[in-house]
Amino acid sequence: MNQIGELLGIALGAILVNNFILSQFLGICPFMGVSKKVETALGMGMAVIFVMGVASAVNYPINKFLLMPNDLGFMQTVTYILVIASLVQFVEMFLQKAVPSLYEALGVYLPLITTNCAVLGVVLQNTQKDYNFIFSVTYGVTGGIGFLLAIVLFASIRERMEFAVTPKSFEGFPIALVAASLLSLAFMGFSGLKIW
């Protein structure tokens, strides 16, 4: 029971309190780049959930059984990047064969996940916080859900902002950055949230 509570805590933390984008400021580039339309934002979020979850699952045994016994903790970053890049490649090939429609929909965003620092962030934090396998995967998946939540919220705001009258110098990207910071401020309100 205690463990389930802890899992809930991790999930809530990853989605709301320590949201990867809005509180930890990781993965900002896809957040700004793919948030023009809710539809694409949704697709990107789904892909990130998948990659984050699988990356957490794959990196845990590599760290546990390969790096730690050989005293190679300093190699974590390099190894994780290698794993994530291969993983994304693999997912891309798999999707192209198995679900071509999803592959077409995600388009260029799928390979872009390779450079999404939120994915690297989640696996590095897994080792930092010394999570076990279950906790790592939970943190990865819920971190992805947090990413999805943030990017879909932001995309909805941006779709509305298209119609707003903005000063000339603020049109487009600048006003989007301001909106992102306000959204981030709003998420700061969750920082007091605790399950117990």
Q: Work out whether 62 is an interface residue with another protein (CB under 8 A).
A: yes
Q: Work out whether 86 is an interface residue with another protein (CB under 8 A).
A: yes
Q: Look up tokens 């947090």; give the residue.
A: 146
- Length of the chain, in residues: 196
| Side-chain half-sphere CA neighbours of 60 within 13 A | 19
Instruction: Give the C-alpha separation, 124 to 3, whole Å.
Output: 22
Q: Work out whether 72 is an interface residue with another protein (CB under 8 A).
A: yes
Stretch that binds another protein, among 22-30, 47-55, 79-87, 126-134 (CB under 8 A): 79-87
Q: Work out whether 78 is an interface residue with another protein (CB under 8 A).
A: yes
Of 77, 89, 166, 181, the residue at the interface with another protein (CB under 8 A) is 89
144 within 8 A of 49, measured Cβ to Cβ: yes
**From residue 130, how far is each of 36, 64, 121, 151 by CA, in Å?**
37, 10, 14, 28
Instruction: Give the C-alpha separation, 66 to 44, whole Å.
Output: 31
Using CB under 8 A as the binding rule, the residues of this chain from 101 to 140 that contact another protein are: none
Q: How far is the CB of 86 from another protein (least distance, A)?
A: 4
Of 1, 2, 4, 98, the residue at the interface with another protein (CB under 8 A) is 98
- Contact footprint for another protein (CB under 8 A): 62, 66-67, 70-72, 75, 78-79, 82-83, 86, 89-90, 93-94, 96-98, 100
